[in-house]
Structure 1
Amino acid sequence: MSRTVYVNGDYLPEEEAKVSIFDRGFLMADGVYEVTSVLGGKLIDFAGHARRLARSLNELDMKAPLTEDELLEIHRELVARNELVDGMIYLQVTRGAADRDFAFPVDAEPTVVLFTQSKPGLADNPVAKTGIKVISIPDIRWGRRDIKTVQLLYPSMGKMMAKKAGADDAWLVEDGKVTEGTSNNAYIVKGGKIITRQLGNEILHGITRAAVLRCAREAQMEVEERAFTIEEAQAADEAFITSASAFVMPVVEIDGATLGDGKPGRVAARLREIYLDEMRKAAV
């Protein structure tokens, strides 16, 4: 069945959805995006995603096309029209359509696109019971990774490098330290302490990251925000990643080195449980 999508104020069958060939998102990757998970027909941490969207737009000197309340209404309408139970809603805002020029256009209207992706049983992903394998690759992305732009070519290449190596994902390394995963934040656990890179321009300020660390601290878990090396990660007791669609996902192998007994660790499993419980309670 065809999905209903949203394009610049209109709800349309996906086959009828169109954007201009002159859109700067297409020509220049001049756009930002957010992905909000849906569980049981409700939005997970929508307010957090809306705040980050506003920050990304501001950092690129791009005007906000809609208010947070308007965005929430559109998200809910797409959930209803597509009868979405579990899955994600993808939102993209670009600077709009204008004749091709490196300089920003002064009068372009932003392009706003949203669509749903159904993922039945999203929170019951069996991989969470077995964990994932990651490899390390050089981080050669641009310097403003804190802005959630649509510039995703290298992360996509990283996913393919991991697949070719028989792994599930890649962790990016810069100046000898792990920055993050291709589409997630990275963590290790040593002696019960959760270690993850501090916020800065080098990593995305993950919405799930913020919620998981809050849950960890409320559960009296020790958290240290600092960079770590691949070697330190390989010697850790356990490791995991967080993202809007993976929630908390254990990592059991890094560059061929097995962590612990090769099974998901206790800390990651507990954090996934706490996070999902808290997010379901607060879902809108």
Structure 2
Amino acid sequence: MYIYLNGQIVKQEEAVISPFDHGFMYGLGLFETFRIYDGHPFLLDDHITRLNEGLQLLNINRVFNRLEVVKLLNDLLKANGLTNAYIRFNVSAGSGAIGLQTAPYINPTVIVYIKSLEKRNSMFEKKGQIVTIPRNTPEGRERLKSHHYLNNVFAKREVGDKLDVEGIFLTKDNYVAEGITSNLFWVKDHTLYTPCLNTGILNGITRRFIISLARNKGLRVEENFYPVEHLIEAEEVFTTNSIQEIVALSHIETHYFKGEDGEITAMLHKAYQQFTSSLWAMKEIGGIDDE
């Protein structure tokens, strides 16, 4: 496979970065993962906006725009002969001296990873497992999609390599938080529930899109602090991320749900599929979550 590295399309085995990159040394880096459907980067504008906002917080002097990123992605797709793909768009601080730096980073390392990922119309179904390690709190005012993934790694080790299981974090105060690599939703009495951002979760792009979709479909959406008891009393439970889209949960521990037969879960999945090959930003459907 070919990847993008600092302005060049290179073979992945030939890619080299500096050992003094502060993304490697101190975790100063961000990434966005998203999918390309039939050559279209779904919700690209929203991913770029979140990336640019995070880079500003990390004092990394780099701003991306749609025109630049689309050209980069098209070159990468052409080099690999793909039209449907997984993308990880990674930006780290770049090289610096040993020690913590307060001055702006002006030469970040930009890497775009790609792999083939074909479209599928059916929905995944998994089991949920509540992990014992609590969700850590964000390093700053809000959780960034950053290189700081040790909490996720520990949780994944607890769950193991089973592909049909998603680990579910609780906060240190035992409120429902999010999945290891996903946001969490559940349906109860025709209302869609999801933990609020004040629990310390990532404000996922797909999370925001599902909230917008649900409200446009006339669903009531509630965001708050919820104990586990509220979750396990649900009729339907699903997780979301930009790669797996919507994943229905059949059960969590010994508590069973409708899984892929859930009416609201299936409705949202069908609506989601209608936009994947055309939508640049969720504002185009007329709604963004209030947070």
TM-score by length of 2: 0.87
1:231 aligned to which of 226, 229, 232 = 229
Q: Relative to 1, partners in 2 of residues 1:261 and 1:67: Cα closer, same or farther, differing over 3 Å?
A: closer
Q: Relative to 1, partners in 2 of residues 1:132 and 1:44: Cα closer, same or farther, differing over 3 Å?
A: farther
Partner deviation per Cα, 1:55-105 (whole Å, 9 max, x = no partner):
111121221154442122212221222122322111111110112212245
Deviation at 1:38, TM superposition (A): 1.3
Mapped partners of 2:9, 2:180: distance in 1: 31
1:139 aligned to which of 117, 131, 135 = 135
- Report how many residues are paired: 278
Partner deviation per Cα, 1:187-234 (whole Å, 9 max, x = no partner):
111011100122347111111111111111111111111121222111
Mapped partners of 2:259, 2:41: distance in 1: 33
2:21 aligned to which of 23, 28, 36 = 23
Aligned match of 1:271: 268
SS of 1:225's equivalent in the other structure is strand
Aligned match of 1:71: 69
Aligned 1:1-284 pairs, distance under 5 A: 3-64=1-62, 66-104=64-102, 106=104, 108-121=106-119, 123-124=120-121, 128=124, 130-137=125-132, 138-144=134-140, 146-163=143-160, 168-174=165-171, 175-200=173-198, 202-254=200-252, 256-260=253-257, 264-282=261-279
Runs (5+) with no aligned partner, structure 1 = none
Deviation at 1:283, TM superposition (A): 5.7
Paired AA for residue 56 in structure 2: N
Q: Relative to 1, partners in 2 of residues 1:195 and 1:94: Cα closer, same or farther, differing over 3 Å?
A: same
Deviation at 1:135, TM superposition (A): 2.2
Partner deviation per Cα, 1:92-120 (whole Å, 9 max, x = no partner):
11110112212245565111111102123
Q: Relative to 1, partners in 2 of residues 1:231 and 1:89: Cα closer, same or farther, differing over 3 Å?
A: same
Q: Relative to 1, partners in 2 of residues 1:160 and 1:89: Cα closer, same or farther, differing over 3 Å?
A: same
Runs (5+) with no aligned partner, structure 2 = 282-291
Q: Relative to 1, partners in 2 of residues 1:281 and 1:191: Cα closer, same or farther, differing over 3 Å?
A: same
SS of 2:264's equivalent in the other structure is helix
TM-score by length of 1: 0.89
Mapped partners of 1:89, 1:272: distance in 2: 21
- Is the Cα–Cα contact under 8 Å of residues 94 and 109 in structure 2 kept in the other structure? yes
Mapped partners of 1:194, 1:94: distance in 2: 36
Q: Relative to 1, partners in 2 of residues 1:31 and 1:262: Cα closer, same or farther, differing over 3 Å?
A: closer
Mapped partners of 2:205, 2:147: distance in 1: 17
- Is the Cα–Cα contact under 8 Å of residues 159 and 168 in structure 1 kept in the other structure? no
Partner deviation per Cα, 1:238-277 (whole Å, 9 max, x = no partner):
11111000111111222x1232356542211111110121
Deviation at 1:152, TM superposition (A): 1.2
Report which stretch shifted further, 27-36 or 145-154: 145-154
Q: Relative to 1, partners in 2 of residues 1:201 and 1:133: Cα closer, same or farther, differing over 3 Å?
A: closer
